[in-house]
Each structure stands twice: as C-alpha cells, then as structure tokens.
Chains A and B, each alone.
Chain A
C-alpha cells in the first residue's frame, strides 16, 4: 500500500507541469460550446500541441506511435492536465480512447499506418457508430446491415447517440454481416468515411440543449472491404478487446474537477448564508468523503491495472456506479446552494447539473453496470 510516486513518476510530473505552464498561455480562447466546427478546430489544435510535445497517445503502445506510458503515468497526465486547466480530450475522444486502441490491437500494418498517425496528430476525428434505436444496452441486437458486393460492403441502417458525428472524418461502425449467425457472431467492425455518399447526419438535441451527438443514417453506403478491421463476423470480439482495456483512468480529470467544484460550492454557500443550514453542511461533508474515496478508488484501480490480472474492467464498473451517482449528487447540492439561481442555465453548475443526468445512462447504464458487477465479479447467475 504505497501512495507515493517513484522518482521517475515525479520527474514525469515535473516535466509535464513545466510544459503545461508554457503551452497553455498560447491557446486561443475556447470556442462557443455550440460552435462545433470551432470546437473541433480547438480540440485538434490542442492535440497537435500534445503531439509536438511528445504527449500524444501517452497510453498507446510504442509500436502504435504512443509513449507506452504506465497507467500511473497516464493518471498523472490526466491529473496535472486538469489541475492546470488544460482542454479536455473533446472531439478526439473516440479516436484516442477507443477506435485508435482498437486499430492498434487488431488492425493490419497498412491500416495502422493509414489511421493511427492522423489521430495522434489531431488531423482526423473519429466517432462511434455502435448503438442503434433498437440496440442500446442490448448492443448485440444491432441490425444495421452490411452486404458484401465485390470489393465493398453495402451498408444500410441507422446509428444513434453518435458524439461529434457532425465534425468527424471517420466512424468506427458495427454492422451485421451474418443475420443467421448467433447474435454476437454475425457482427463486423468497419471504418466508415463520414463523407461517403449515402451518409446523413441529423443532430440530436440533448435535454441540456446541446447537439453534441447525432443520429447517423446509412443508405446503401459503399465501404471498401479493405476498411474492415479483423475478420468478417469477428467484430464483437474486436470491439470488446478495447472495451475491456480499461485502466481505471477514464474519469481521473473529472474527479479532480469535482473536488474543486465541491470546494467552490461550499465557499458559495458560506457567502450566501446557506452554510447556516446544518442539513446542507452535512450533505456537503458527505460529498467530501465521497470524492476523497473516489480519488483513492481511482488510484486503487490504476494500481490494479499496473499489476495486471483480475477481471478486466471490473473495478471500472464499481467506480462508474459510484461516481456517476456522486456527480449527480454534487450538482444537485450545488443547485440547493444556488437556490433560484439554479434555474439559470448560463450558470456553469446548472449546465453541469443537466449534463450530469447522462452519467447514469451513457457507456453502460447503472442497471447494466450492476449486472456486470453481480455476474462478473460476484458470480451470480445470469438471468433476468
């Protein structure tokens, strides 16, 4: 049980701090949250700066162009980036955290050479075409159909909840290539160029008022078979290789940010008099314990990833269940402190309160996460 960082890790932290201190002042002001092309430009410019400084793809293997950093170094990177106020991964999210690692693990040499460097440099943006209107938590029910025709697949169907679809260059797409096979064995992974004829993107407005994701309609879209990663009908395994590649670092920056927000909420309560309410104080005190524990749980999971072994992603489900609830509690408490001010969506805590509602749904609902914990960690029987 050692929470001290090694000399090497401290050196890495110090170097990163020095670089952030010089790099961040050169950034342009962040774009309007509704200006998606502007956001893409901002996010990719930051990615290019990371690339030039040698921090791009920190957690990617070295032979994929990454730094092959340890999970602990990745934790330090995310912690320091948040503390310094650096931009979030943003539009580069899917490329850096899912499509890229999938290509690195399962792609051919030619595919890796074609797609990985542009992700690292911030030249190309990826989005994710997994969920469908009738395949959400039950992803393997997906029906978007791909039929082989010569050197192409012809793809028809629709995808939903596709973040950054409007500004993406590529989409990692799961399609059904064998409707007669058992559900998990008839799925294929394809790279879809978003400018291909037959692709229509329709933005979806979230309850927070943002159009961060979209529906993607595919009408006889031709995708070269050379864009298939892994074997035909092996797409489920190809996808899961990366989904289980969870190093416990998914929410590092956010936990750091939540702890800062909680302090600000407390100070605001002290200034506006709501601090006199013992019920509110106790609520905030409990949240302090909560986020302290979540930070330590992050370190616990990262240490587990560093050692290897155990059920992949198991600690991540435990963490996500607790964190997504805690985040909602934090912004509910912030709203209590703001009083009528919580009705003004211009306040950043109000916007964050609205977006926090997605946390118990996105990337595996809390109900699905509980199934995972119960079945994969506790060994309870599968069932309904």
Chain B
C-alpha cells in the first residue's frame, strides 16, 4: 500500500497548477467577475493539456489515465476557481463532438433531485440531463430555446445559471450511458474542486495572518486566529484523504463521504478565511467571497448534504 501520489501524479498536478497560475491568476479571476464566460482560448489549452480527454483511451486520442489523475487535475481547477462547465466537459468528452479538444462547451445536469439548475447556459452548445433513476432516459437539449426562460440571478458572479428544462429534448446518441457511474464521477470531480478551493482558502488565510499586524503583532501569532487556521487545515486534509480514496476505490459510499466532507471543507474554510480577513474579507474586491459562493453552488450539485447523509445512513444498516 502506498496511498501517496506517485511521482508522475505529482508532476501531472504540478503541471496543471502551473498552467492555471499562468493563465488564470488573481487578475484574470477578478476580470472574470465582470465577464464570466469561459475564455475559449484557455478552454482549448485545457483540451490540449488533456483535461477533458484524460480518461479516454489513447487509441481514441485520449490520455488513457484514470480517475485519481482526473481528481488531481480537478483539485487544481478548484484551487484556481476556474469558471465553466469543467465536470460536464470531462464526463461528456468523446460522447459529444468537439468537447474533448475544448472546441465546444457542453452542460450536464441532473433531473429533479438536483438543484434544477445548470451553469453557463449561454456558452454551452448542448445540455445533457441525467434522469433521477438509473434506468431512465438521458436527454439532450439545444439550449437556444431556453434562452428566454426566466433565470435566477446567480449568487456566484462567475457561474451564470439557468433552469433545467422539464421534459422534451432528444435521446443522447451512442451507446447507453451508465447513469449511476456518471453521477458518481460528477460528484467526485465536484468534490475534488471543493478540496482545491478549501486548500486555497487555508493558504490565503495563513498568508494574510502572517503579515496583517494588530496590537503590534501579526494576527497569526494570536491563538484565536491560529486555531481558526489549524481547523481549516484539518478540514482540508481530512477531505483530501476521503476524496483521493474515493478516486481509487470508486465506491458509492466513499464518493458520498468525499462529497460531504469536501463540501463542508470548502464552505466552512471560505467562511473562516473571510473571518481571518476581517472587514477586507467582506468586500467585493477580495476574492474570498467567490470561493464561498462557488462552494455553495457546488455543494448543491451532485448530492447535497441531506441526500448524501441519508444515503450514508442507509449504508450503515446494510454495510
């Protein structure tokens, strides 16, 4: 047993971190608040870097890697707070044209049972809706028609939302989708993004606590602040163990545990990061609220706390 990352896995993750640091740093993030549409050139770069085709067979132009590697890359997209339907494009690469290369963006949503919302409706060429039952029909929509439908004013400025259409659409072409598996993987990749965000907000809180001085000392020297930061790391590292393990085992229960703990880590770490920043944390200018708001959105996707906790509880009786 060696649960830690292999050298290759570490390099893969470092590569994605470097790519995103160069192409989607804090300034680009701030600019995206006003213009949240994903940067198409960056999207194609991500396609070229293999983010979408990562798990497709090499014979089909994919990278031929597995879920653990996908989780490591998605952790980085969460750390950078990269907007866009990343999970959808990863899971639908190879099924819908132009997605694997990053040429086209597509959406993925779950029918009733989920939030009933999907992200970046104006940017996606197609929307795939998974049924709530594993044997139900998978439907595909061209979202043009839905453009006129009323839209919620999304809490996350980087994630425009629209309601998932009820009924209609056409059947997804190609071989049958393993719906349970796709939902499970969507939950896990979303959890990986939450993990990245949770780790990022620990880093931001610690960096600020080291330099911000009050009462003649860095605030990080005060236990009241120090202990908040320690608690954040504990949340992130516990979630990390759960997320990585679920990527290895692909067990339904472990994915539930990973989603629950990563949601919790992302939301609560963003809150604590905000608290450590004091008044600055409450401003629009600081990026912390963007982590919190995205974490709220992701927490609603692919299994919220109520659904996940009930599933885990049911598992206690059978397991």
Task: Give residues in A with beta carbon < 8 Å to B.
Answer: 1-6, 9, 72, 75, 262-263, 266-267, 270, 278, 281-286, 288-290, 292-294, 296-297, 299-300, 302-304, 306-307, 315, 318, 321-322, 367, 369-371, 373-375, 377-384
CB neighbours of A367 from chain B (8 A): 223, 227
When distances are taken between beta carbons in the complex, the residues of chain A under 8 Å from B154 are none
Which secondary structure dominates chain A's binding surface? Answer: helix
Q: When the two chains form the complex, which single residue of B218, B239, B247 contacts A381, counting CB atoms closer than 8 Å?
A: B218
> Which of A292, A371, A375 has the most C-beta atoms of chain B within 10 angstroms of its own C-beta?
A292
Taken together as a complex, chains A and B put the C-alpha atoms of A321 and B232 apart, in Å, by 11
B206 & A297 in contact (Cβ 8 Å cutoff)? no
User: Is B254 in contact with A373, judged by CB distance below 8 angstroms?
Assistant: no
Choice from B227, B310, B315 contacting A370 with Cβ under 8 Å? B227
The contact size tier of chain B is 35 or more
Report if B313 contacts A (CB, 8 A): yes
The answer to whether B242 touches A289 (Cβ under 8 A) is yes
Interface of chain B residues 289 through 319 with chain A (CB within 8 A): 305-306, 308-317, 319
Cα distance, A370 to B233, chains bound together (Å): 10
Nearest residue in A to B254 (C-beta to C-beta)? A292
Determine if A292 and B242 form an interchain contact, defined as CB atoms under 8 angstroms apart: yes
Interface check B267, CB cutoff 8 A: no
Given contacts A1-B247, A378-B206, contact A373 B230 (CB under 8 A): yes
Would you list the 5 A-B pairs with minimal beta carbon distance, nearest first?
A383-B221, A285-B309, A285-B313, A289-B257, A285-B312
B217 at the interface (CB under 8 A from A): yes
Instruction: A263 to B253: give the CA distance in the assembly, Å.
Output: 14
Q: Is the interface of B mostly helix, strand, loop or mixed?
A: helix
Q: Contact check: which of A3, A270, A285, A381 meets B220 at CB < 8 Å?
A: A381
Contacts of A382 in B (CB 8 A): 221
Residues of chain A within 8 A of B229, CB atoms compared: 374, 378, 380
Instruction: Annotate B165-188 by CB proximity to A: 1 below 8 A, 0 otherwise.
Output: 000000000000000000000000
Q: Which residue of B lies closest to A282 (CB)?
A: B309
The answer to whether A288 touches B315, judged by C-beta atoms less than 8 angstroms apart, is yes
User: Contacts A3-B245, A282-B313 given: A292-B237 contact, CB under 8 Å?
Assistant: no
Q: Which of B1-9, B29-37, B107-115 contacts A (4 or more CB under 8 A)?
A: B1-9
Interface presence of B74 (CB below 8 A): no
The answer to whether B234 and A322 touch across the interface, beta carbons within 8 angstroms, is yes
CB pair B4–A292 under 8 Å, yes or no, is: no
* Cβ B222 vs Cβ A2 within 8 A: no
Do the beta carbons of A303 and B1 come within 8 Å of each other?
yes
Distance, CA A306 to CA B3, complexed state (A)? 10
A297 in contact with B238 (CB, 8 Å): yes
Q: Which residue of A lies closest to B203 (CB)?
A: A378
Closest to B311 in A: A285
Spell out B's residues near A (CB within 8 Å). Answer: 1-6, 9, 68, 202, 206, 209-210, 217-218, 220-223, 226-227, 229-231, 233-234, 237-242, 244-245, 247-249, 253-254, 256-258, 260-261, 305-306, 308-317, 319
Tell me the smallest distance from the CB of A271 to a CB of chain B, in Å.
11
Assess whether A296 is in contact with B220, with CB atoms less than 8 Å apart: no
Bound complex: CA of A374 vs CA of B223, how far in Å? 9
9 more contacts with CB within 8 A, not counting A293-B241, A367-B223, are A1-B9, A3-B245, A266-B313, A267-B316, A285-B260, A303-B2, A303-B3, A378-B206, A380-B221
Contact partners of A282 in chain B: CB under 8 A: 305-306, 309-310, 313
Contact B248 A383 (CB under 8 A): no
Given contacts A294-B238, A300-B4, A379-B206, contact A1 B68 (CB under 8 A): yes
Q: Which residue of B lies closest to A1 (CB)?
A: B68
**Of the residues A270, A286, A373, contact of B312 by C-beta under 8 Å:** A286
In whole Å, how far is B202's beta carbon from the nearest beta carbon of chain A?
Answer: 8
| Known contacts A286-B260, A374-B220, A374-B229; is-contact A2 B3 (Cβ 8 Å) | yes
A284 and B312 alpha carbons, distance in the complex (Å): 8
Complex Cα gap A4–B253 (Å): 18
Q: Which residue in chain A gives the minimum CB-CB distance to B69?
A: A1
* A281 CB → nearest B CB, Å: 4
Which residues from chain A contact B223 at a C-beta distance below 8 Å?
Answer: 367, 370-371, 383-384
Expressed in whole angstroms, the minimum distance between the Cβ of A361 and any Cβ of chain B is 16
B1 with A72: CB separation less than 8 A: yes
Establish whether residues A306 and B2, one from each chain, have CB atoms under 8 Å apart when the complex forms.
yes
Closest CB-CB distance, A138 to chain B, in whole Å? 14
A373 to B228, CA, bound (A): 11
Point out the residue from A2, A296, A378 that lies within 8 Å of B230, measured CB to CB: A378
| Contact indicator A321/B234 (Cβ below 8 Å) | yes
Neighbour of B2 across the interface among A307, A369, A380, A384, CB < 8 A: A307
- 14 A-B contacts (beta carbon < 8 Å): A281-B313, A284-B316, A285-B260, A292-B257, A293-B238, A297-B241, A300-B241, A302-B3, A303-B1, A303-B2, A321-B234, A374-B227, A374-B229, A374-B230
B-chain residues with CB within 8 Å of residue A288 when the two chains form the complex: 253, 257, 312-313, 315-316
How far is it, in angstroms, between the C-alpha of A270 and the C-alpha of B306 when the chains are bound? 19
Partner of B1, one of A4, A278, A297: A4
Which of the residues B217, B242, B245 comes within 8 Å of A383, measured between beta carbons? B217
**Cα-based distance from A380 to B227 in the complex (angstroms):** 10
The docked-state distance in angstroms from the alpha carbon of A267 to that of B2 is: 34
Which residues of B sit under 8 angstroms from A75, Cβ to Cβ?
1
Determine whether the beta carbon of A2 is less than 8 Å from that of B1: yes
Of B233, B248, B310, B317, the contact of A378 (CB 8 Å cutoff): B233
